[in-house]
A and B are shown apart, each in its own frame.
Chain A
């Protein structure tokens, strides 16, 4: 037996106490859904985990009504200090139940326990901690004194980082004084439902957070509901586009966090071993199910062969297998559909003339799996250099000069993230200046922090999550009244002084556009309460 054949080191599932079936979490309680329930399965084994309720339009309406009620009666009247205390409690409870949440996440999503334990869940707690502290400090959020919350936020999140995406949505929304209806992804509802139990333990007032499970139509119904003031969506660019179209002309504010095809740029003077780690982490972390994944390696032509050789050597120690084994590096692909898409695009890559190399690994019989794969001889006009694969597939391209690297990196409708590897500080900063991407990592990759804003340029979406900038999505400058809002804006000294941070990022100012297109609306029943 080789030393490298590590004995199984399974994380125990005994820590979980799962129900056979879960209801919708509306107004502080689990209630039955009126749609047809569905199963959530483990993508590693295809075994059933639990039966999940399905929210139909009536359920969506109930959830929005509960959120509205909680906003009007409780949350918008509560001091920021007290809102913060609830968020601190939630952060602490997440820390206390962190192992349980990590196991549930790996079971339901397929990602390695090593990642959910060491990356996902700690970031979830950190996100709640960070935003808890903002709740009573909104004067300093950058929107002027005493900014107001928006009301009810509809939040639809993806399956790749289920609990983390939930935290990115709920924490700032609540800190800013909004209430929430959140729809987890169809294939990964479990951690959100355990989180709902945590909300009960925290004593969060009923209706402040509502979690409704379902599929695409639940999400569409939620986003379309007229009782919603704010829409936050993370997912594919295609759906993001549809949402933007749907809310056009309405009062709803929207932020979108969509796909990407990030360039990871490696210069010939890069710290080579760390660059290899960065490439591997960039595309194979979370099986490549990452919107900001470094899915295009742009390597300086004069070191191409050496980098590819070192990469292959490094990939040979990656372990693919049971997500709950502590030594697993590459977990399962989240669903059959996603696996099909990855296979299809990989075949396209080969057909286009790229050379495929996959890590030799033993693929388990059940479940959805894809061996980490690199394609060399990829060109800028290849489909696999342009389309988001969302799987453990790296496309390798070359460049000659910094300017060429920048041009190739920017030559995409996406603009979420990028990586720069070089020993030269002046180059890092100059290249970063010119990359059209919302998050740039230098000599590192896939680093997240609640204090660091995250979001994209161009078709990767608009708005930022994290940091002080992340509050802007859930606040508006204080105005005298709904009717007087237009007048108040006109009287300001000029756009610069009134510019909320969100507008500076390119989020269209829908309210102004809406106001100019329509007749004055009837006043909404909700009171825009004090945000403090």
Chain B
């Protein structure tokens, strides 16, 4: 899967910023963007959460959610066996119902990529074609506390092993210390490391770790910064820090993506990750996407859920819609 070429991204950044992406220029630009009123943002998110998605809309929403999931395992204890089990679930989420869509991707640590690729076999490919992509976390995930060389090597290995997508983390310490130039350069370098010899590129998701950025103004700025530096997706969290994804934070990131599209014509993706366990909540995210940036974004190249237990909850809901009665944990598989 190819992402945006690096050269174009830097040129675009220069054009938008009106100068080199150093600390001072970036600060001037990012701090000049309109602020966020947290109370108002949270109220808007809560309002979107009151949408009542029922019957046919619900059925469609559930299938959409599944098709947008990055089914994830990111544990120190991951083994090839665990990854194989995850992949099997990704390919066939509900063995009792062949109409169940497949997930968009599996998301694993970089050193697990070969096992994921191997297990997927013929099912490996572009989600737009009904296949499943492999996403790898990289850059000293989740903390990001390591040298740039190590982060780039981490990335390059995952890409070489077959990862279609890289989920990197920004350097939050650098961001909070105002070293925007460093954050920019790291993202740009990782994007470069996503390039393959054949000229294609893995798609780059940039994890902001919103739980550590804390304020919405920071999230707004980090989102713009990540897009300027060449990210294809902006992602809320590693899932290892609380709070992870929230509806207000995701709404905010969608607003940035909307404004970026209005300004440049380019479409950037959004991925909320961590803490979305219930179908009811995931549906709120779909509504928020559709009513903020447009339902065009409800496809794998522009929106993902980083989740593990969400899938089973969606399957239970799907079963209820199919059978008319409530289902239970015995009727979905563990992965």
Contact = CB atoms under 8 A, between A and B. Distances in A.
Are A and B close enough to touch in the complex, i.e. CB under 8 Å? yes
Interface of A: 1-9, 114, 118, 269-274, 277-278, 317, 326-327, 423, 443-444
Contacts of B242: none
B58 A7 contact: yes
Of A3, A7, A270, A444, chain B has the most CB atoms within 10 Å of the CB of A3
B56 interface: yes
B295 A3 contact: yes
Interface size on B, as a range, is: 20 to 34
B18 interface: no
A348 B316 CA distance: 56
A271 B36 contact: yes
A273 B43 CA distance: 12
Nearest to A114: B50
Contacts of B199: none
Given A3-B64, A423-B35, A274 B57 contact: no
B53 A6 contact: yes
A327 B52 contact: yes
A278 B47 CA distance: 13
Contacts of B295: 2-4
A272 B41 CA distance: 11
B40 A277 contact: yes
B196 interface: no
Closest 10 CB pairs of A and B: A274-B40, A9-B52, A326-B52, A7-B57, A271-B37, A274-B37, A272-B34, A3-B295, A7-B55, A317-B291
Contacts of B43: 277
Contacts of B325: none
A326 B51 CA distance: 7
B57 A6 contact: yes
Contacts of A444: 37, 39-40
A8 B53 CA distance: 8
B54 interface: yes
Nearest to B33: A272
A6 B119 CA distance: 38
B286 interface: yes
Contacts of B41: 273-274
Interface string B164-190: 000000000000000000000000000
Contacts of B126: none
Nearest to B41: A274
A327 B40 CA distance: 20
A3 B60 contact: yes
Contacts of B37: 271, 274, 443-444
Contacts of A1: 56, 60
Contacts of A327: 51-52
B34 A269 contact: yes
A114 B47 CA distance: 9
A271 B40 CA distance: 9
A4 B291 contact: yes
